[in-house]
Amino acid sequence: MAGGNAIRGSRVGAGPMGEAERGESAPRLRVSFWCANGHETRPSFASDAQIPDGWDCPRCGFPAGQNRDNPPDPPRNEPYKTHLAYVRERRSEADGEAILAEALAKLRGEI
């Protein structure tokens, strides 16, 4: 058993910190934001701060807005695209045929 006259779990300077030590806190303003799932988030801002138009819902991650009846739409999840899908967006079928013919000609030693 450890001896000594220190109180377990305490440290120097530990104790209640009130406004006397920290100073007065800035006036705050609580603003409500709602997401598409109906979750309400109420972050607090300094009264002189610029309030953002949107906020991320901490429960579901959807964007939230200040209008309860018309919250922002949830983001659309784009399906995963393969490299070939991106190539097909950039090139037409005729372009692909021309590139393939050129590559085959190089392999055959025609160029």
Binding-site residues, in ranges, read: 35, 39, 57, 60
Cα distance between residue 16 and residue 79, in whole Å:
53
Sign of the Cα pseudo-torsion (46, 50, 53, 58, in order): negative
Q: Which residues are annotated as a binding site for Zn(2+)?
A: 35, 39, 57, 60
Tokens for 7, please give them: 């109180």
| Residue 41 bridge partners (DSSP) | 33
Tokens for 5, please give them: 């006259």
